[in-house]
A and B are shown apart, each in its own frame.
Chain A
Amino acid sequence: MARTLFEKVWDAHVVAAETADTPAILYVDLHLVHEVTSPQAFDELRARGLPLRRPDLVLATLDHSTPTLPAHADGSRPYANAEAQAQVAQLESNCREFGVELHGWDSADRGIVHVIGPELGATRPGMTIVCGDSHTSTHGAFGALAFGIGTTEVGHVMATQCLLQRKPKTMAIHVDGALPPGVGAKDLILHIIGTIGVDGGTGYVLEYRGAAIEALSMDERMTVCNMSIEAGARAGMIAPDETTFAWLKGRPRAPQGADWDAAVAQWRTLRSDDGARYDREVRIDAAAVKPTVTYGTHPGMAIAMDTPVPAAANAQERRALDYMRSEAGKPMQGTPVDVVFVGSCTNSRLSDLREAARVLHGRRVADGVRMLVVPGSEAVRRDAEAEGLHHVFAAAGAEWRVPGCSMCIAMNGDLAQPGQLVVSTSNRNFEGRQGKGARTVLASPATAAASAIAGRIADPREYLVEVAA
């Protein structure tokens, strides 16, 4: 029978099939771990006297609570508080105790968990990947089934390398045509979430497909899959292809030599068969996507920046517009900006930084605007600095930081003040997400950079004349 990409990956990982009474037992190939959602799970193992079943299938890093300012001269780190420091120390000691590979402060590969998994080649097509983090959906860009779990389930995976799961439904998102010049993956995924809604994906695994998806780079595919959870979906997937294989080849954990050829041959089978059925199908016209931003307090409240903000349909939306000080009938373009953040697992990879630098090159961040650029990993930082991107940011007046989640989740001290408007390349514009009372507008790196220069939400195409020409 014709199967979808999701079904092929799911079927290959079933240890025990689901029944009416019991969920499937699903095997996990890679368990990513960070400091915030793991301490209670390690405690659970200790309390029960259980070993960590497969330390070789666990990869840990420090990203959420870590400062993005460099270490002091004495080597100490400027943590936001003692609790954050203790949380990091606890992951370090847990990894030592249970034999987990940790990309900590001394690792040349440390970074945001969803950036380093792919970079190391630990993320590969056809795998099942979980992490105590909802943006685990990022790894679906490689044709992996990857989803976020809670801490209790983190403990389940540590002890058994398995999860109890009901099979989700499938939704195909066909993106036909081509994105216009100056419009990117972030605009596309905000447009998709704005179309299907903040809960449109609940209960589903999404498969992004079609010409516009095939044309995306791996970085862009990761941006798209990353935000699947913002539509409520468990996971988002894209079938692996030549772009995927070329990106993975030579990565530290990618297969080598004859193993590589065998792996690629197997990965080529990871496509939805002709005639495979989805529970729901949605069509998106790529050509209609414009630079897109959010205007409310969830990622589904997204529109093209030159389109008037819709009138509030209910008390809920009224509250969101009030909080954001967004005016119905007026476009978001032109709204004054206080802070600009380029970073997060959504948009902190090299191509994102290049995109922001291309707009910023030879220009200055507007007076009164603070701009933070936080690379996703040490590898991204090295590559960006080798290209001199950090000089472009510094010359423009932006702050160039050490890798981490930073202002996306604002738990490390990087945050906006009450009332400030942040144009952010991250993934969530919830009330208070970037600091109590802070107002978040989600946007692409190009839009963020253009807005930093203008001091107002601005169309990056005006700064990318060579693209428009």
Chain B
Amino acid sequence: MKPITRLHSRTAVLPDENIDTDRIIPARFLTTTTRTGLGRLCFHDWRYQADGSDNPAFPLNRPEARGCAIVVAGRNFGCGSSREHAPWALLDYGIKAVLCSEIADIFRNNALKNGLLAIVIDEVEHRWLLKHPGIELSIDVREQAIELPDGGRIRFQLEPFARHCLLNGVDQLGYLLQHAEAITAYEQRMEAAA
């Protein structure tokens, strides 16, 4: 994974609460055996009309939302299925950060492992961001702060190890593999006890 220290973008808003991973990518597209090229399927049944044209009612189809890499979403984003296809599809669609007052556990884990900034922010600031789409934000991963155009800052907290991995491009599997000796020792302890 490439290190991620900062992200600068305008915001787009998806105000719905409880946007589940089936809405992010419907299950019928999960027959894929790769993790690439899922952007065109992202939010498929919400984003397109029956004839395949863009649904004007889908907030991210609005002209002002095009090119926005930061989405402010209603609370409990990413609930439901554990499919990692959800962050893969969002990233391929061009979304690099999701800001929310609450993010579902499995989705948040999956997102951060793929470099998608799934960031939980305070409810008051969340409400304000939901009401102000299109503002320019700078997300500073090192400082754990979101800079507003007027110089204001929104603080957030990432799990320290996830933050370390984002900042340094750490490969988590590589980190785990470094503990092979401890894992073997654990297995031997368990075997001896059995």
A residues whose Cβ falls under 8 Å from a Cβ of B? 15-16, 20-23, 25, 27, 36-37, 39-40, 43-44, 48, 50, 53, 64-65, 80-81, 83-84, 86-87, 90, 132-134, 148-153, 155-156, 159-162, 164, 166, 168, 198-199, 202-203, 229, 232, 234, 298, 300, 315-316, 319, 409-411, 428, 430-433, 436
Contact = CB atoms under 8 A, between A and B. Distances in A.
Contacts of A22: 160-161
B84 interface: yes
B35 A433 contact: no
A20 B160 contact: yes
B105 interface: yes
B18 A298 contact: yes
B33 to A, nearest CB: 4
Given A15-B186, A25-B183, A202-B105, A409 B27 contact: yes
A431 B161 contact: no
Given A40-B33, A149-B82, A232-B79, A160 B177 contact: yes
Given A150-B113, A202-B102, A411 B173 contact: no
Interface string B54-96: 0000000000000000000011100111111001000000000
Contacts of A150: 82-84, 87, 106, 109-110, 113
B17 interface: yes
B176 A81 contact: no
B183 A160 contact: yes
| Pairs A-B, 10 closest by C-beta atoms | A150-B110, A150-B84, A39-B33, A83-B31, A148-B82, A134-B82, A199-B76, A151-B84, A411-B27, A15-B186
Nearest to B108: A202
B173 A155 contact: yes
Contact of B17 (A43, A161, A316, A428): A316
A431 B105 CA distance: 21
A166 B106 CA distance: 12
B23 interface: yes
Nearest to A23: B161
A450 to B, nearest CB: 27
Given A40-B33, A134-B106, A160-B173, A152 B76 contact: no
Label chain A's interface by main secondary structure. Answer: loop
B140 interface: no
A86 B33 CA distance: 9
A199 B33 contact: no
A21 B164 contact: yes
A430 B20 contact: yes
A80 B17 CA distance: 32
Contacts of B113: 150, 152-153
A428 B104 CA distance: 15
B176 A160 contact: yes
B26 interface: yes
A298 B113 CA distance: 26
Contacts of A65: 30-31
A198 B18 contact: yes
B165 to A, nearest CB: 10
Given A20-B160, A153-B109, A298-B20, A36 B30 contact: yes
Contacts of B9: none
Interface string B1-41: 00000000000000111101011001110111111000000
B27 A410 contact: yes
A316 B16 contact: yes
Contacts of A43: 33-34
B144 interface: no
A152 B114 contact: yes
Residues of B in contact with A, size category: 35 or more
Contact of A64 (B30, B104, B183): B30
B73 to A, nearest CB: 12
Interface of B: 15-18, 20, 22-23, 26-28, 30-35, 45, 74-76, 79-84, 87, 102, 104-106, 109-110, 113-114, 159-161, 164, 172-173, 175-177, 179-180, 182-183, 186-187, 190
Contacts of B173: 44, 48, 152, 155-156, 159-160
Contacts of A232: 76, 79, 104-105
A199 B160 contact: no
A15 B183 contact: yes
15 contacts: A23-B161, A25-B183, A39-B33, A134-B106, A149-B109, A150-B83, A152-B173, A156-B173, A156-B176, A159-B177, A160-B183, A161-B183, A168-B105, A316-B16, A411-B28
A123 to B, nearest CB: 18
Given A232-B105, A430-B20, A25 B176 contact: yes
Given A164-B176, A428-B22, A37 B83 contact: yes
Contacts of A430: 20, 22-23, 80
A152 B112 CA distance: 11
A43 B36 CA distance: 13
Nearest to A54: B187
A202 B82 contact: no
B82 A87 contact: no
A71 to B, nearest CB: 19
Given A159-B173, A433-B22, A132 B16 contact: no
Given A164-B172, A232-B104, A410-B28, A15 B17 contact: no
Contacts of A25: 176, 179, 182-183
A159 B164 contact: no
Nearest to A262: B194
B144 to A, nearest CB: 14
B17 to A, nearest CB: 5
Contact of B31 (A23, A199, A411): A411
B182 A16 contact: yes
Given A64-B30, A151-B35, A411-B31, A198 B105 contact: no
A162 B16 CA distance: 36
A107 B18 CA distance: 39
A436 B105 contact: no
B45 A432 contact: yes
